[in-house]
A and B are shown apart, each in its own frame.
Chain A
Amino acid sequence: MAEDTVSELTDLAIRLKDAFEAKKVSALKSLFVPQPKINVMGRFLAEEEFLERLAQFFKQVEEPILEIMRIEETDVQKKSAFIAYDVEVSFIHEQTWEEHTINGLLGLSVARKKETQRGKSKDQWLVDGLTFSKRPDVGRTAGAPQPAGPTAPTGRTLGLFDGLFGLWY
């Protein structure tokens, strides 16, 4: 994989992270091709529905963090690439101050597209497919006491997000 391609794909991941953490739906949208394929927790979502759910989600939470822990897999071709990141998504519920942490696998299928900005055209990587799936918490064994930490089950909060941002659960 060429150095500049690695650098470009890293830049794309950082822009995705920054847009998520800044709660900027429009900035997120700008990273995607029109009508990308999106699958979250096994559910296919149209772009509009995905962005609408994200917007609703951002209204309910504070300080969302998308931590990219490591790259799980890469498959880079000349005009396309697939990268899977091991990520940790955390956020604080604005009303209850409860912190939620979700470990997951974020797969991005990206394509090199010609973008025109201010009359100048240049190639850049855009996301044409996104998958997210939750992973079981590492290090938590069956029967072990649940820590009252980030993922403490309270019933109320899990239910809260069911209808709102059910794609995480």
Chain B
Amino acid sequence: MNLKARCMPRTLREFVSFFRSQSLQRDELLGKITDIYSRVWPCKFDDKDLQTFLGLLYCSVRFYRPSIVVQTGTFVGTSTIAISLAMRANRKGALFTIDPEPREYFGVANPVSIARQAVSSGRLDAHVQFVRGYSTVPGDRQRMQLPHAPWWRLTNLPTGALWNMFVVDGDHTYVGCSADLCYGGLRVKREGRGLVIVHDYIGIPDVRRAVREWRRTAVPLQSLVVPSPCGIALIQV
């Protein structure tokens, strides 16, 4: 077993310094993502919150060099692209991104098919595996019409290796987020040191409550919050 890869010994404090030093690389990242999406789906990346999230995902993968990243919530795939671009730069890593693939989400028709096109257009297929289904059970009825799709994908992913990083951005209800953290976050913790990243920690009170309660039971090594209106919780377990 590669003990070095398993332990992810770098601290979150070191990561904060690294993130701050990478402003140029983050700008370049946005340029690359914009270029990829210009070929598949017209969209803008001028939202500061989205920029921060994408930059943070890219930098965290570059910094921690995870072998396996699991993500809940694909949507149109911008975060998938950010993670996989970092994996390509690392020359290692596989991303499993789980989404029930609704016909419409936030007014966007077939968002995950856009994500698939973007991954292909960016020639990032080697790093990304799309997993259709619910991470645990369907619950986010307020945000979308829930499609028929397999349940519990989080617990039976064919990852075949250690999870080093878990990105939670799927079901934004209290129960859904708690379930993702219980099953996904604890798997990262059980298998060695790793990082759990939760989007919308500040913007959605249910998410904040789920994270806070999970943190009490999981007793992470360290926890920080990226200051942005949506807020991104970084939890090293």
Q: Is the CB of A97 within 8 A of B219?
A: no
Q: Is the CB of A63 within 8 A of B227?
A: yes
State which residues 142-169 of A face B: CB under 8 Å.
Answer: 145, 147-150, 152
Q: Is the CB of A149 within 8 A of B202?
A: no
Q: Is the CB of A99 within 8 A of B223?
A: yes
Q: A65-B202, A97-B16 are in contact. Are A149 and B223 (CB under 8 A)?
A: yes
Cross-interface CB contact of B215 among A94, A98, A148, cutoff 8 Å: A148
A35, CB-defined interface residue at 8 Å: no
A45 to chain B, nearest CB (A): 27
Contacts of B133 in A (CB 8 A): none
A113 to chain B, nearest CB (A): 33
Q: Choose among A62, A92, A97 the residue with the greatest number of B CB atoms under 10 Å from its CB.
A: A97
Q: Choose among B202, B212, B227, B234 the residue with the greatest number of A CB atoms under 10 Å from its CB.
A: B227
Contact with A along B193-237 (1 / 0, CB 8 A): 000000000100100000010011001111111111101001000
A96, CB-defined interface residue at 8 Å: yes
Q: Is the CB of B221 within 8 A of A148?
A: yes
Q: Choose among A62, A63, A94, A145 the residue with the greatest number of B CB atoms under 10 Å from its CB.
A: A63
State which residues 97-131 of A face B: CB under 8 Å.
Answer: 97-99
Complex Cα gap A150–B16 (Å): 17
Contacts of B212 in A (CB 8 A): 149-150
Contacts of A63 in B (CB 8 A): 202, 225, 227-229, 231
Contacts of B13 in A (CB 8 A): 96
Q: A63-B202, A92-B225 are in contact. Are A149 and B220 (CB under 8 A)?
A: yes
Q: A63-B229, A150-B212 are in contact. Are A145 and B219 (CB under 8 A)?
A: yes
Determine chain B's interface SS by DSSP, over half rule.
mixed
Q: Is the CB of B215 within 8 A of A99?
A: no
Chain A residue with Cβ nearest B20: A95
Tally A-B pairs: CB < 8 A: 51
Chain B residue with Cβ nearest A93: B227
Chain B residue with Cβ nearest A62: B227
A160 to chain B, nearest CB (A): 15
Contacts of B222 in A (CB 8 A): 148, 152
Number of interface residues of B (CB under 8 A): 21
Complex Cα gap A81–B204 (Å): 32
A18 to chain B, nearest CB (A): 14
Contacts of A65 in B (CB 8 A): 202
Complex Cα gap A96–B16 (Å): 8
Chain A residue with Cβ nearest B12: A97
State which residues 1-40 of B face A: CB under 8 Å.
Answer: 12-13, 16
Q: Is the CB of A147 within 8 A of B216?
A: yes
Q: Is the CB of B225 within 8 A of A99?
A: yes
Complex Cα gap A99–B222 (Å): 11
Q: Is the CB of B231 within 8 A of A149?
A: no
Q: Is the CB of A94 within 8 A of B227?
A: yes
Q: Is the CB of A97 within 8 A of B220?
A: no
Contacts of A62 in B (CB 8 A): 227-228
Complex Cα gap A148–B222 (Å): 5
Q: A63-B229, A63-B231, A97-B16 are in contact. Are A148 and B202 (CB under 8 A)?
A: no
Other CB < 8 Å A-B pairs besides A97-B234, A148-B215, A152-B223, 9 of them?
A: A63-B231, A92-B231, A96-B13, A97-B224, A97-B226, A99-B224, A147-B216, A150-B212, A150-B223
17 of the cross-chain contacts (CB-CB < 8 Å) are: A63-B228, A63-B231, A67-B205, A92-B225, A92-B227, A96-B13, A96-B224, A97-B227, A99-B223, A99-B224, A147-B215, A147-B216, A148-B219, A148-B223, A149-B216, A149-B220, A149-B223
Going nearest first, the 4 A-B pairs with the smallest beta carbon separation are A62-B227, A97-B224, A149-B215, A99-B225
